[in-house]
Amino acid sequence: MSQVPESSYKSDSDRGEYIKREVQKYLQYWPWFVLSVILALVAGYMYLRYTPKVYTANAKIKILNKTKGLELPSSAFVFNRSNINLENEIEILKSYRIIENVVDRLDLTMRFYEEGNVLTTEVSQLPFNIIKTISNDSIYVSSSYVIEVKPKGFEVTPSSTGQVLLFPDFESTNTNHNLPFELSLNEAIKVDQLIGKSYVVKFSSIASVTKGLKGGVGVGVLGKNSDLLQLSFTSQSKSKNERVLNTLIDVFNEDGISDRQDISRRTIDFIDKRFKLLARELDSIELGIQDYKQDNNLITIESDAQLGISQRTLSEEELFALQNQMTVTQMLRESVENQNSNTDLLPANIGLDNASVNGLVSNYNALVLERDNLKISGGSNNPNVVVLESKLKDVKSNIYASIDSYAKQLEVSKSQLLRKNRKYSSQVYSLPAKEKAIVDITRQREIKQSLYLFLLQKREEAAINLAITEPSIKVVEYAISGGAAISPIPRSVYLLALLAGLLLPAAIIYIRHLLDTKVNGREDVVERNSKIPIVGELPRVKDQQLIFSNPEDNSVQAEAFRILSSNVDYILPPKVKDNGRIIFSTSTIKGEGKTYVSINLSLSLSSINRRVLLIGADLRNPQIHTHILEEKHKPGLSNYLHDTDYDWRDALIKGFDKHPNHDIILSGSIPPNPAHLLTNGRFKKLLDEARLEYDYIVVDTAPTILVTDTMLISQLADATIYLVRANYTEKNLLNYSKDLFESGKLKNMAYVLNSVDTNKSYGYGYNYGYNYGYGSKE
């Protein structure tokens, strides 16, 4: 439909009229809107009835600071990580490794469904016992099995073979089969409640289930500045949602605790290895002392050397501590050298009295843990992992340098203590050399014993730290399922159905009008040719039969033509003396109803006691004879125009018994040169003579766009009614009639809109069904 620009409205009333007309274009199809809404609502109801309901569950957790619980109680070991990277934690939480553990722990490779008449719904468990007999790793392809509960037992149909397996007495263990599960009846459930029901068991590989679960788990930060994570999962089963989320929380927490305990485990393993070496060395020293004393008959040190010995003992204690540090330093160096790569953690806090070495070891362990976390979330090729690997090499080099420097420092200190010790030894020169040897051996034993006790203490501290490691997360809220399904939502479905029911027919109607190039009513004509008057709108009838065979006809069609005859009378020029007035009826193309209108207009005029002559001037395609059941080639206008001796009065016929004042001149035989005949002067002579005998002369002419016949005689008319047929005439053809009017080629031109749908008046029309009442039958 063409749109009238808002600026063309002369007033608000015009705008309101236009809006009203546009609205009524749609309101006239109200039954389709009602039907569409009803069908849409029914479709929405069916969708809600047979669409599986989906539920969601949510849980909340807080990520704890991972630096807690990693250090030994007596150490100052801390990680260089004070902030929590929630993005990394989210990636770890949704990592394939964690999700796979959840799938394996919940045994999600086997799923259960209950078949209904239309809908198949997933359930958390079956109402009877089912035990899976294969491992998750042995499931490579998906498979399904339909279990039907019959009065005599279970009937199982594998989808792969389609062969029905019967298990009598509801027990599968008594029958040989190759199914991946065993069935048995649950004693708490009555068999009568299950008979006739069907269930489906589906098996899927752990990889496919893990990928599906990984995509279904949602993890997000609860707030902008929050360190809380919200977990969500949706499925058809509320219990499954809760089990998945709760298990995911447990697996993630255990994984974090395991990471925190790695340092403690490695420290314990390191000390256990050193225990074996120290035990063998102590046994060797004890046996050496025993053998030496037995061989040299030695028991105690002489009392006269007590003072010198006490001084020397003090010096030796310092030497013991120094040698202890040298031993621990050597053991730490051996541990670093035995490490083949940068993947293992170094033992921390083993008693080394060097803050630089301890700090480098702590930094090295922190970098190892940070790199391992990034590998889990980003992979080995992550740029940050590569940077951390480089840092680990640099820190390791620094550890070597610091150990070497500290060892040299210890050597210097040892040399100084040895010199000091020799000074004291000179004071006890009287002591037997053999006793001095015993003291040296005893000193070695004490060094090993003190080291053994020291490592034992550290091992106990590491074991305690391992046992009391704090959790990596705090569960703020375990999984809770919502009461109502998140999909489908009845209110939304019905609302969408209502909108669809209204919009679909509206869109169809809009597109139909948008693509409609036909004239539909008065508005289309006025919009294009507002200067040409419209003298009549004729209603559309099923069969366009002549309706004035009875002048007293009061039908809708009869009243329309009476209105047309009255309106045409207004556009005719005043009557001169007793001369009749000539009315031409034409159209743009064939089929617009000019013959039909010409006949009925002439009958309408004759029904008011006027003498009327109807002339068929369409010599190429005459149609009047078809309405009065006359021969097509009966003598008429063409015979008169061709034969100068033929009197037109001889061609007059009476087509309607009840219209005595109505005469007809048919077109006659179809001539080869209609245009020449119409312009030879005889047609004008006929009209001049007929004016004197008739009040109105209605001439049915040929279509204007097809032939030139009408244009050749158009100036002979007093008025020309131009037929436009609704839903038939193209709108662009109105431009042609507009040109005829503006150029004056058609004299006193007016439109007659034919075949108008009385239900499409668009706010104007006459509504010919007003049923005035006269002549109506009771």
Q: What pLDDT, in 10s, does the model give residues 551-584?
A: 777 778 888 888 999 999 888 988 777 789 999 9
**CA–CA dist 312, 423 (Å, integer):** 9
Confidence of residue 764 (pLDDT cuts 50, 70, 90): very low
User: Is the pLDDT at 493 greater than 50, yes or no?
Assistant: yes
What average pLDDT does range 297-318 have in this prediction? 61
User: Is the pLDDT at 102 greater than 90, yes or no?
Assistant: yes
What average pLDDT does range 432-437 have in this prediction? 64
Q: Of 16-30, 77-91, 411-425, where does mean pLDDT reach its minimum?
A: 77-91
Beta bridge partners of 751: 534, 722
What average pLDDT does range 303-323 have in this prediction? 68
CA distances from 90 to 219, 560, 663 (A): 7, 80, 98
SS3 428: coil
Q: Give 766 or 171, the one with higher predicted confidence.
A: 171
Q: Which of 220-234, 246-260, 662-676 has the highest mean pLDDT?
A: 662-676
Confidence of residue 343 (pLDDT cuts 50, 70, 90): low
CB atoms within 10 A of CB 224: 5
Label the pairing between strands 652-653 and 662-665.
antiparallel
User: Is the pLDDT at 246 greater than 90, yes or no?
Assistant: yes
Sign of torsion, CA 620 624 630 635? negative
**CA–CA dist 407, 332 (Å, integer):** 11
Beta bridge partners of 155: 148, 166
What average pLDDT does range 359-368 have in this prediction? 82
Q: Kind and range of the H or E element at 475? A: strand 473-481
**The CA-based dihedral angle spanning residues 183, 189, 195, 199, taken in that order and rounded to the nearest 10 degrees:** -50
Q: Give 741 or 443, the one with higher predicted confidence.
A: 741
Confidence of residue 82 (pLDDT cuts 50, 70, 90): very low
Beta bridge partners of 221: 229
User: Is the pLDDT at 243 greater than 70, yes or no?
Assistant: yes
Confidence of residue 77 (pLDDT cuts 50, 70, 90): very low
Q: Which residues contact 695 (CB under 8 A, 6 or more apart)?
A: 580, 581, 605, 610, 611, 612
Confidence of residue 428 (pLDDT cuts 50, 70, 90): low
Confidence of residue 125 (pLDDT cuts 50, 70, 90): confident
Order of strands, sheet of 612-616, starting from the edge strand that comes earlier in the sequence = 534-539, 749-756, 719-725, 581-587, 696-700, 612-616, 662-665, 652-653
**CA–CA dist 386, 396 (Å, integer):** 16
Tokens coding 699: 């001439």
Please, are residues 403 and 336 in contact by the beta-carbon 8 Å criterion?
yes
- pLDDT tens digits, 711-763: 999 999 999 999 999 989 998 999 999 999 999 999 999 999 998 876 654 43
Confidence at residue 80, expressed as pLDDT on a 0 to 100 scale: 39
- pLDDT tens digits, 654-666: 988 888 999 999 9
What average pLDDT does range 595-612 have in this prediction? 91
Confidence at residue 657, expressed as pLDDT on a 0 to 100 scale: 84
What average pLDDT does range 168-174 have in this prediction? 87
Q: Of 162-176, 208-222, 255-269, where does mean pLDDT reach its minimum?
A: 255-269
Please, are residues 596 and 561 in contact by the beta-carbon 8 Å criterion?
no
Please, are residues 219 and 53 in contact by the beta-carbon 8 Å criterion?
no
User: Is the pLDDT at 631 greater than 90, yes or no?
Assistant: no
User: Is the pLDDT at 773 greater than 60, yes or no?
Assistant: no
What average pLDDT does range 215-229 have in this prediction? 85
The pTM (predicted TM-score) of the whole model is: 0.54
What average pLDDT does range 97-102 have in this prediction? 92
SS3 26: helix
Q: Give 248 or 300, the one with higher predicted confidence.
A: 248
Q: Give 651 or 387, the one with higher predicted confidence.
A: 651
Tell me the residue type at 422. Answer: R
Confidence at residue 311, expressed as pLDDT on a 0 to 100 scale: 66
Q: Give 350 or 659, the one with higher predicted confidence.
A: 659
Confidence at residue 432, expressed as pLDDT on a 0 to 100 scale: 59
Please, are residues 696 and 602 in contact by the beta-carbon 8 Å criterion?
yes
